[in-house]
Amino acid sequence: MPLDAITLTHLTAELNARLAGARVDKVYMPDKNEVVLLLRAKEGNLRLLLSASQNSARLQITRVQRENPKVPPMLCMLLRKHLVGARVTGVFQEPLERVARVSLETVSELGDLEQRHLVLEMMGNMSNLILLTQDETVLAALRYVDLSEGKTRQLIPGVRYRLPPRQDKEDPSMDLEALRRVAFASSELPCDRYLLNNLLGLSPLLAREMAFSACGGETLTMDALDDARREALHQSLLALFLGEGAQPTLLLDAEGTPVDFSCLLIAQYGSLYRREQCESYSEMLEQFYALRDAAARKKQRTQQLEKVVKRATERTSKKLSHQRAEKNDFADRDKYRIFGELLTANLASVPRGAPFVELPNYYEENSPLLRIPLDVAKSPALNAQTYFKKYQKAKNGEQILLEQIEKGEQELVYLDSVGLALEQAETQDEIDAVREELIESGYLARPRGDQGKKRAGKTGEKPMRFVSDDGFVILVGKNNAQNDWLVTKLGEKQDWWLHVLGCAGSHVLVQSGGACVPDRTLEQAAQLAAHFSKATDPDKVPVTYTQLRNVKKPAGAKPGSVVYFSSQTAYVKSSPDLLKQLEKNTAT
């Protein structure tokens, strides 16, 4: 849902009240389209996020601490040079445009006060962030625009900044009578479509809400509106643009997931969505974009690795299919042995140069005649030897194929575990650990100059940690490197090891500390193993468990691969509620 101009009006007013006079302490760029200003304001330290992302352009105060790249981009360095230490003088909106401006006052190298402006244009795929001097000259931009690209304005360092071209629509910020002209206009277009096409500042959601306030549930054209409905429409538009009754509101589906937001209590959806009022517009945007942004950033970071795993999986599956088909061709290899033995037993009765011979098959009851094809250029004895060689070749080939098929099946299981690790990865370090694993396993080439990273346990990466209701620590590996670390380095022989049977999943370790682990803790650990796995039936997941003394990692085995013996299997149900309970235990 794009941030519409009317909601932006309320948002910038809120930010202006909270941020005026704040000092810029630090500048970060956690993403190529995002800038975060760490501010010292009257109410304490605040983070102002300015996002020029195509699908989520906005500015807001955020509590989320985003991961920052180890090497800051050039734009980030330039913003630090000009903005660190600056004082925010105001946050403003260009009237009824999706353009916001953060004005700052800074001290030049000569000690003079100078103005700087951060302009955020929130316009879909044309979203941009521009740094301006006090005379509106462009210092830097997230995306530069040259006239040679066929654009209507130029955005390069040194040129004077101009706003994006204004749409040819009625502008209520200049003349409130425009609202009456629109409400009483004549058109064959549906009411909401006409409002969207002819009035600045409206989004599709707000246009539909204005039409709903006048027409109820009916879809009427402008020409079908009577005077009473036109007056109702005019009053709704007037209240909207004057900000009467405005309040930050989220629309939530049945599962409590935010699906839209607005500056109004949206009524058009009836009981389909639940409305929830937020304390502030920043809080509204924080809740709406939190899950979506995290998923988008993760997808962007893992996309290449997912393609590598997918290609390797498809290639291995195709190879396995061919090998299994070839194995079926060896199923009748015993007939070659029988041909050879029957020929050897009847050499005297086999005529030379015959294309075939029929001999009694004493391997079957009543010894029926069996036709055996012959090579006319070979003697009976040589034909027999040829069949023995075919039999031996088929036998050896089947053995080799069985080994290759087993190896391919193990590779598919391994690739499945890598795919699960990518799904569970949340931080850049965890994604990098999977990347390093794919490089070391030969699925991905190492970039030039990259010396590789240390494995989990030697870096800051740690498995997930939970505490059972009985007070035992339960560790869950999020990737194969962490799984290996749990088994080979961290765990003690008396600890308990758990893993879902028959599919990819995290290794789970219950640290016993030498004490007897109760069944309730083992059951909770098994439910964690079920939750962090690719089990298809969450209501009945088989989990194998045994003490770590019974688990070994074979030499040369792929990451995350172990063998175990003397184990037991329990069937459990994956429970997200249990996960929350164990997280509470961990926090306390």
H, E, C per residue of 142-199: CCCECHHHCCCCCECCCCECCCCCCCCCECCCCCCHHHHHHHCCCCCCEHHHHHHHHE
Structural domain total, the chain: 4
Does residue 56 lie in a domain region? yes
| Domain co-membership, 145 together with 182 | no
| Domain co-membership, 398 together with 468 | no
- Whether the pLDDT of residue 333 is over 90: the answer is no
Range of the domain at 352: 333-402
Residue 131 maps to which CATH number? 2.30.310.10
Does residue 456 lie in a domain region? no
Cα 88 from Cα 85, distance rounded (Å): 10
479: left (phi over 0), alpha (psi -120 to 50) or beta: beta
| Domain co-membership, 346 together with 258 | no
| Domain co-membership, 196 together with 139 | no
Does residue 242 lie in a domain region? yes
Handedness of CA 250, 252, 257, 261 (dihedral sign): negative
- Whether the pLDDT of residue 332 is over 80: the answer is no
Q: When comparing pLDDT for 273 and 403, which is higher?
A: 273
Cβ atoms of 84 and 27 within 8 Å: the answer is yes
| Domain co-membership, 269 together with 353 | no
Instruction: Label residue 21 by pLDDT band (50, 70, 90).
Output: very high
Q: Give the CA-trace dihedral at 517, 491, 463, 507, to 10 degrees.
A: -70
CA 435 to chain CA centroid, nearest Å: 15
Residue after which a domain boundary falls, among 386, 402, 418: 402
| Domain co-membership, 187 together with 261 | yes
H, E, C per residue of 284-309: HHHHHHHHHHHHHHHHHHHHHHHHHH
Average pLDDT over residues 402-412: 87
Instruction: Label residue 364 by pLDDT band (50, 70, 90).
Output: confident
| Domain co-membership, 212 together with 145 | no
Residue after which a domain boundary falls, among 402, 419, 434: 402
Does residue 421 lie in a domain region? no
Strand partners, 565: none
Of 373, 257, 262, 286, give the one whose Cα is nearest residue 66. Answer: 286
Does residue 226 lie in a domain region? yes
Question: In the structure encoding, which two tokens stand for residue 137, read together?
Answer: 């000259």
Cβ atoms of 266 and 42 within 8 Å: the answer is no
Cβ burial 176-210 (10 Å sphere, 16+ → b, else e): eebbbebbebeeeebbbbbbbebbbbbbebbbbbb
pLDDT tens per residue across span 506-546: 999 999 999 999 999 999 999 999 999 988 888 899 999 99
| Domain co-membership, 204 together with 245 | yes
| Domain co-membership, 138 together with 18 | yes
Does residue 165 lie in a domain region? no
| Domain co-membership, 65 together with 116 | yes
pLDDT tens per residue across span 479-516: 998 999 999 999 999 999 999 998 899 999 999 999 99
Average pLDDT over residues 310-339: 85
| Domain co-membership, 205 together with 77 | no
Cβ burial 402-432 (10 Å sphere, 16+ → b, else e): eeebeebeebeebbbbbbbbbebbeebebbb
Does residue 269 lie in a domain region? yes
Residue after which a domain boundary falls, among 259, 282, 305: 282
| Domain co-membership, 30 together with 145 | yes
Does residue 288 lie in a domain region? no
